[in-house]
Homo-oligomer: A and B are copies of this chain.
């Protein structure tokens, strides 16, 4: 039988109100009484029931985090950041894998709301009007990660993907690359679209035309990257650079390039996005755009909690753009 506040009260010869006060560290309790209650708690092994408390105070100290897939290292880094930070503020995390499916997002958001999460962090590859409507109807605090509402109605923390891709491409063009292929996600979505926009902008500024047939869309995986690379190489067109929308694609590209006898970076340069920890341990080491993933999770959690606790102006600093870092490694020639 679980011991409850009533049992402690009996043991300490006080009322449940008094026990509640010492449990919650409310100061107006006499030292002696407090000590008696503390002793009773220790003796009985009492642990407060957070569910009952939550019902009463209308707050669960639990936040939901919706991500496409926790087994993707990109997302697990974000979750790690969110988890560590949440814990500092005494919040816990309910983890939801959405597989980027909007039906699942809707269904699972309902579950989170029924469980009375104080807020939710939404991490995704895309942000569209359906998602926006869904999240706005939720009437609980929301912070987006990796994506943003471009109308600025919802808080978000992310990097500037357009700019990052633009600068990456500009740097690459400066290094002399001009026959550019791109490997992207067949599913599209805000993140890759923004990156594509940045790449095309830089190309256009340099008067470089990117052959549409060299923009390959496939599954966002090692295999997808390998297949798209094969298609690019098989086209017989001149290609000296493949820009991939993430590191998995780039690793698949690396492997396929080698298998087709291309030397990276001498014959062909390859770049990724996100900069997994593994990127600098493979050979050749992979050039990539580093996103501060842990920080995205951590900052999103803090922003959310501050909103929940009304600790700062709700309208202030709604969208937080974090710095990225372009890292050139062996998969790109020095000049």
Chain A: residues with CB nearer than 8 A to chain B? 47-52, 54-55, 60, 62, 69-73, 76-77, 79-80, 83-84, 87, 92-97, 108, 110-111, 113-116, 222, 251-252, 255, 258, 277-278, 281-283, 294
Contact = CB atoms under 8 A, between A and B. Distances in A.
Contacts of A69: 80
A70 B52 CA distance: 29
Contacts of A93: 94-95
Given A71-B73, A255-B281, A277-B222, A51 B116 contact: yes
* Copies of the polypeptide in the assembly: 2
Contact of A97 (B84, B278, B281): B84
Contact of A95 (B50, B71, B83): B83
Nearest to A93: B95
Given A84-B97, A92-B96, A278-B278, 12 more contacts: A47-B110, A47-B114, A49-B116, A50-B114, A51-B51, A62-B94, A62-B115, A71-B76, A71-B79, A80-B97, A87-B108, A92-B94
8 tightest Cβ-Cβ pairs between the two chains A and B = A71-B80, A76-B76, A50-B114, A95-B95, A50-B115, A51-B116, A71-B76, A282-B282
